Every structure is written in structure tokens, then in C-alpha cells.
Amino acid sequence: MSRQAAITFMSAKTKLVNFSSVKASLASAILPVLGLLVFIGLWNMLAKNIDTSLGQFPGTSAVWEQAQVLHQEHQTQQQKAEAFYERQEKRNADRVAKDPSYQPKIREFTGAPTFFDQIWTSLYTVMVGFFMASLIAVPLGIVCGLSRSAYAAINPLIQLFKPVSPLAWLPLVTMVVSAVYVSDDPMFSKSFITSATTVALCCLWPTLINTAVGVSSIEQDLVNVSKVLRLNAIQHVLKIVLPSSIPSIFTGLRLSLGIGWMVLIAAEMLAQNPGLGKFVWDEFQNGSSESLARIMVAVLTIGIIGFILDRLMLQLQKWVSWDKSTAMR
Amino acid sequence: MSNKIQLELSQVGIDFPTPKGPFTALKDVNLKIAEGEFISLIGHSGCGKSTVLNLVAGLYQSTTGGVILEGQEVNEPGPERAVVFQNHSLLPWLSAYKNVELAVKQTQKGRSKQEIKEWVEHNLELVHMSHAADKLPSEISGGMKQRVGIARALAMEPKVLLMDEPFGALDALTRAHLQDSVMEIHAKLGNTVIMITHDVDEAVLLSDRIVMMTNGPAATIGEILPIELERPRNRIALADDTSYNHYRHEVLKFLYEKQRKVESVEDHRKQRQKNQSDLSSGRLKTGTNQE
Ligand SMILES: Nc1ncnc2c1ncn2[C@@H]1O[C@H](COP(=O)(O)OP(=O)(O)OP(=O)(O)O)[C@@H](O)[C@H]1O
Ligand SMILES: [Mg+2]
């Protein structure tokens, strides 16, 4: 083979290699898009053939249109609020100028919450509920994992309450909150407390169980290291137990947050508490010709937010975890 | 090596509870170890070598008799009896440096920050691991992990260094390197060492005395073979040495003639796994990730 030919042969070979790797990365980029396109196609095709009492089932264009309308509504509302505060400030300034002893009153703008307000409410609620649950579940899980007797004591409760749909708790939580949480100037609204508590009740279990399992399956050798070093109980938990069970704790936390988000929407629908669930329910009751499209916007939003929450947890897990392999999925 | 007796095992016996009643793993183990002595424990798989080591470490409690270190009975683990485990058992989320540092901070509370740093570095240097101090255990080789494990144990300034098959999982070349390191360190520091091994050459090369154990159940010390070879020892020079080969022969004779193993290794492994899972079946049964 001549030198020239050898070189062309080699470059052809590298091209081939490059080509197959390009093909692989192309496939991984194109396939999800393809799946999405097929879904959208099917959706639009089926939508045309579904007639409901509220008109035809919305296709992509109707949903997109409503998404823009919702955004528009939000902006209008914001402008109104800004104008309101400006007027109030001006009025107060005038009053103070006339009478320096006057204590200006600041009143909140009270427009109907827009779609975006509802998103924030739901996000905030789910986060608070999730944190409340985690604050209880992680320490309790550690205790259960460390002590066989603690586990034996708590296990029946876990088994009993884990399968209970949190929606069954909802009426009880609502009544208890309205009975117990009485204050003249409440920092949080009752509906918020109810929703957050309901979320917390179902976020408890996956975190609790996964933490307990993670802690109880620490390698015996590492426990022995801790014994040889004579670490005391607190050091043992902080230096050995927590780091080695971080991966399973996070598995539990991710499951909890996912479930919490699903449950929150249902709870809001059922209890008429502010949030995305209420938005869906209100639109359903409203029954205008755009309702279905607006609900569809909400459904997609719920899905996207759920997905983002999970990714964030995954990112956090990768960040705090030493075992990079468990954080891959 | 002085002649002062530092560690004594006296009439040590241990029963493990099993579903079929107590299992006597060790019975009447008697051994006196002088300060600075290097002892190897050798015996067939499952005879109870790790059990002896865990008793000295204080991780197990003897049923009869006791372990006495410098006149005091051992009944809990502690850094004066540092352990090098078979599977390195470094904390996987800490770098080599941090692993050693944890041990130093925990066992030498009097030291200043600067002193801690110097002591950690000194011990890593001793096992020739300074270059990889900032690597995580997952980023270094098996031999390197074992070196860090040894550094961690040495950093506790133990009276007795306990090593459970420290080089068992390593290839022959790496093992030879580490054996040389251990000899070097032992010459320098003069710690008392108890090492479990399966390797006859390793035992003869490193030890002052080789303790050979009979097969279980109710295993005990069969013979003790003093190795009177000049130190420092050189593996190449010793290869043709008649007394070296004589010692080797003695150990092999004990293992393969006097204590011939009848049950197969496979049976033992199964039995051991079963014993252990029986014991640990009281742990959480929930399995893995629920929900
Ligand atoms: N925690 C335990 N519970 C019940 N039985 C045990 C326990 N630990 C050890 N044994 C039993 O005691 C005997 C001795 O075990 P040990 O681990 O000390 O053997 P070994 O000599 O170290 O073996 P190997 O060379 O394979 O490491 C075995 O028969 C084993 O099944
Ligand atoms: Mg062993």
C-alpha cells in the first residue's frame, strides 16, 4: 500500500468512527423529539374527534392560545396591582403632607389570583410540606435504622399509615387546623396549613423507610472503624451514618417530593385551597368553551414542574453524594 | 523487641449463638505476646483467625477467659488496638488525607492544628502515599487503599496493630511491595503486630513467631513456630536459605498433614454465610427502596 493510500484509508476509518458516534448522539437528540412529535400528532388527531358538552377537546393550538391568554391575564393583573400601589402611596403621601401625625395605612391589593399566582402558591405549599416531613422523617429514620427496638416500635405504624391515601386525612386535617390554629392575625392562611400538612403526611413514609433501610445497611466494617476510634453517638451519626446513607436518604426524598406534588394538586381540588388544583377545579366549574384548553395548560404545567422538581433533587443529590453512581437515574 | 509480655490471651473461648444452639468457635486459646513482637496467625479458612483478632480488638467479647493488655482486661474496642481490615474499610466519602485525619483528630486530642497536619502527612509518607493524599478511595488502586488503611491505623499510635489478611485481595507484586513496607515500618516503629494470613511465605518472611491454629469447631492454637531469621530480611536472599525453607516446610506440614482440611472450602463458605445471615436476619426486613 502506498503512503498516500494508507493515509486516505486511515482518514476514512476515523471518519467512519466519527460518523457512528455522531449517529449515536444524533439519535439520542432526535428520538425524544420524535416521540414528542408523534404524541402531538396523535393528540391533535384524537382531539378533533372528541366532542364534549364544553365543545371540542382542545388541540395544541387551542392550548397554546390559552397559555398566552393566561400569561396576558397575569400581566394585566400585575399592572393593575402596580397602579393600585402607586395610587395608595400617592394618597398616603398627600395625607401625611396635610397632617404629619397621620399614620399611613398600607393595604394589600386583592385581585383574583392568576394562573401564575396559583403556581407559586402550589410550589410554596409543596416545599413547606415536604420540608416539614423531611425534618421529621430523616431523624426518625436514622433512629429506626440504628436501633432495632425503635424500629420494632415504629414499624407497625409505618405499615398502617403508609397505604392510607392522604386525601382520607384531608377532612380530619381541615377540621383540626380550624380548631387548633386560631389567631387574630394569622401568619399563614388556614388553607395553606391544611394543604401543607396533607402533603407532609404523605411525604413522611418514603423518606422514613429509605432512611431506615439505608442506615441499617451500613457496612459492618465502617461501624467497626467507628468503634475502634471510639466515636460517640453524635459523632458516629454525623461522621459515619449520615454520609454513608445519603444516597438512600435522597432516594426517599425524591420519591416523597414526587408523591407530595401529586397529592397537593388533588388536595387543592378537593379542599378548594388556593393553588393549581383549585385553578383546575374552578375552570371545570366555570365551564366556558376555553375551560378544557386552560385545564390542559395546567396539566402540562403540573407535569413540567414535577419534572423540574425531580431534576433539582437529582442535582442536589449529585452535589451532596459521594457515590456518583447511585445518583445517575 | 523486649521480653516484657504486653498482651496475653488466657483460656479464651467464644460461643456464637445460632438457631441450633451455641456454636463454639474457639476454646482454650492461650498466647503471650511480647512488646514489639510480630505474630502471624495462620490456619485453614473458617478456623477462627478473624475471631481471635476481633476478640483482641474488643469487637467480640469472649465467653470464657479473657484478653489482657498491659495488665488490664480488654472489653471494648479502642485506638490502642488499631485494626487494618481486609477490605481497607476507608470511609468512601473522605479523601486519603481526611481518612487519616479523622483518626488523628479522634485519638490525639492534645495536638494543635499544625501538629495534626504534620502527623497525618508523616503517616502517609510512611506508607508512601503522600502523592495521592487528596484522592478519594474510589480513585486509587486496591494496594493504595490498603496502604492508607495502614497509615490510618499507625496514626493512632497503637500499642498493638491488628491486621486481618491485609494483603489478601492484592496481586502478588503489590503484596510483595506492601510486605516490604510493613517490614520497614515495623523496624522503625517497633509496634506489636498480629497479622492474619493465608500465605505461608508471607508468614515466614514477616513474623517473629507463627501461630498455627487447629481446625474448628472449638479451634485452638496447634503449634507455635518461632522464626529466628536475621532482620532486616530480604526476600530474594532468603529464597535459597535453608532455614527459611525449613520454616516454610514446617508450616506447610502443619497445614496439609496435621490439620488436613476434610470439608471442602465451598461447604465452609456456605456454612459461614448461613451462620451470618441467621444472625443478621433480625435486622430490617424491609429490603431495598420501598414505594
Ligand atoms: N458473628 C458470627 N456468628 C456466628 N458464627 C460466626 C460468627 N463469626 C464467625 N463465626 C463462625 O466462627 C468460625 C470462625 O470464623 P472466622 O471468621 O474467625 O474464621 P477465619 O479463620 O477468619 O476464616 P477466613 O480465613 O475464611 O477468614 C466459622 O465457623 C464461622 O462460621
Ligand atoms: Mg477471617
Mean pLDDT of B99-112: 92
Whether A225 contacts chain B with CB within 8 A:
yes
CB A240, CB A226: distance < 8 Å: yes
- Nearest-Cα distance to chain B for A252, in Å, is 8
* Chain A residue at shortest CA distance from B94: A322
Give me the pLDDT at residue B277, please.
56
Whether A9 contacts chain B with CB within 8 A:
no
B289 pLDDT more than 50: no
CB contact under 8 A, B291 and A243: no
Give me the pLDDT at residue B137, please.
93
Whether A145 contacts chain B with CB within 8 A:
yes
Residues of A in contact with B51 (CB under 8 A): none
Give me the pLDDT at residue A92, please.
86
Give me the pLDDT at residue B263, please.
56
CA distance B77 to A228: 5
Residue ranges of domains in chain A: 3-49, 112-324
The distance in angstroms from the start CA to the end CA of chain B is: 60
CB contact under 8 A, B93 and A239: no
B35 pLDDT more than 80: yes
ipTM computed for the complex: 0.85
Whether A206 contacts chain B with CB within 8 A:
yes
CB B225, CB B40: distance < 8 Å: no
Classify domain A112-324 at the CATH superfamily level: MetI-like (1.10.3720.10)
User: How many angstroms is it from B112 CA to the middle of ligand 2?
Assistant: 38
- Residues with a CB atom less than 6 Å from ligand 1: B 16, 18, 23, 25, 43, 45-51, 216, 271-272, 275-276, 279
* Chain A residue at shortest CA distance from B88: A221
CA distance A161 to A126: 20
CB contact under 8 A, B289 and A244: no
Residues, beta carbon < 5 Å, ion ligand 2: B 50
How far, CA to CA in Å, does B159 sit from each of A231, B54, B62?
Answer: 19, 16, 21
* Cell numbers given for B82: 488499631
Work out the mean pLDDT of chain B and round it to a whole number. 88
Model confidence over B190-201: pLDDT tens digits? 999 999 999 999
Neighbouring C-alpha atoms within 13 Å toward the C-beta of A71: 8
Give me the pLDDT at residue B291, please.
36
Where do we find the cell 400601589? A85
Domain span(s) for CATH 3.40.50.300 in chain B: 5-82+159-280
Give me the pLDDT at residue B2, please.
64
From the CA of B16, which ligand is nearest? 1
* Chain B residue at shortest CA distance from A249: B289
Residues of A in contact with B283 (CB under 8 A): 148, 216-217
CB A203, CB A257: distance < 8 Å: yes
Give yes or no for a cis peptide into A166 (omega within 30° of 0). Answer: no
Using CB atoms within 10 A of its CB, is residue B246 exposed (0-12), middle (13-18) or buried (19+)?
A: exposed
CB A144, CB A208: distance < 8 Å: yes
Give me the pLDDT at residue A135, please.
97
CB contact under 8 A, A219 and B282: no
CB contact under 8 A, A221 and B85: yes
Give me the pLDDT at residue B156, please.
92
Give me the pLDDT at residue B87, please.
84
Give me the pLDDT at residue A327, please.
47
CB B53, CB B25: distance < 8 Å: no
* Cell numbers given for B66: 479473657
CB A269, CB A283: distance < 8 Å: no
Residue B178 amino acid letter: L
Q: What is residue A75's three-state secondary structure?
A: helix
Q: SS in 3 state form for chain B?
A: CCCCEEEEEEEEEEEEEECCEEEEEEEEEEEEEECCCEEEEECCCCCCHHHHHHHHHCCCCCCEEEEEECCEECCCCCCCEEEECCCCCCCCCCCHHHHHHHHHHHHCCCCCHHHHHHHHHHHHHHCCCHHHCCCCHHHCCHHHHHHHHHHHHHHCCCCEEEEECCCCCCCHHHHHHHHHHHHHHHHHHCCEEEEECCCHHHHHHHCCEEEEECCCCCECEEEEEECCCCCCCCHHHHCCCHHHHHHHHHHHHHHHHHCCCCCCHHHHHHHHHHHHHHHHCCCCCCCCCCC
Q: Could you identify the atom of ligand 1 that is nearest to the CA of residue B213? A: 21
Mean pLDDT of B219-238: 93
Which candidate from A213, A228, A259 shows the least CB-CB separation from B79?
A228
Higher pLDDT, B84 or A93: B84
List, as one string, the DSSP characters of A229-294: TT--HHHIIIIIIHHHHHHHHHHHHHHHHHHHHHHHHHHHHHHT-SSHHHHHHHHHHH--TTHHHH
B287 pLDDT more than 70: no
Q: What is residue A113's three-state secondary structure?
A: coil
B88 pLDDT more than 50: yes
* Chain B residue at shortest CA distance from A222: B89
Give me the pLDDT at residue B214, please.
93
Instruction: List CB contacts of B141: < 8 A, sequence separation 6 or more.
Output: B174
Give me the pLDDT at residue A136, please.
96
Give me the pLDDT at residue A205, please.
93
CB contact under 8 A, B283 and A216: yes
Q: SS in 3 state form for A143-195?
A: HHHHCHHHHHHHHHHHHHHCCCCHHHHHHHHHHHHHHHCCCCCCCCCHHHHHH
User: How many angstroms is it from B87 CA to the middle of ligand 1?
Assistant: 16
Q: Which CATH architecture has domain B5-82+159-280?
A: 3-Layer(aba) Sandwich (3.40)
Give me the pLDDT at residue A325, please.
60
B273 pLDDT more than 80: no
Model confidence over A144-171: pLDDT tens digits? 999 989 999 999 999 998 888 888 888 8
* Cell numbers given for A108: 394589600
User: How many angstroms is it from A287 CA to the middle of ligand 1?
Assistant: 73
Which candidate from B87, B286, B291 shows the least CB-CB separation from A221?
B87
Q: Which of B266, B272, B276, B280 to mutate to test the pocket of ligand 1 (most atoms within 8 A of CB)?
A: B272
**Positive/negative CA dihedral, A263, A266, A271, A272:** positive
DSSP run (H or E) holding A321: none
DSSP-derived secondary structure letter, A322: S
Determine how β-strand B5-18 pairs with β-strand B21-34: antiparallel
CB contact under 8 A, A229 and B106: yes
CA distance A214 to A162: 18
Query: What is the percent of chain B with per-residue pLDDT over 90, rounded to a whole number?
Result: 73
Its pTM stands at: 0.80
Give me the pLDDT at residue B269, please.
61
Mean pLDDT of B165-174: 87
Q: What is residue A70's three-state secondary structure?
A: helix
CA distance B121 to A105: 66
Tens-binned pLDDT, residue by residue, of chain A (329 aa): 455 554 444 455 555 556 677 778 888 888 989 999 999 999 999 988 888 888 888 988 899 999 999 999 999 988 998 888 888 888 888 888 888 888 877 788 777 788 888 999 999 999 999 999 999 999 999 999 999 899 999 999 999 988 888 888 888 998 998 888 887 777 788 889 999 999 999 899 999 999 999 999 999 999 999 999 999 999 999 999 999 999 999 999 999 999 999 999 999 998 888 999 999 999 999 888 888 999 999 999 999 999 999 999 999 988 888 776 654 44
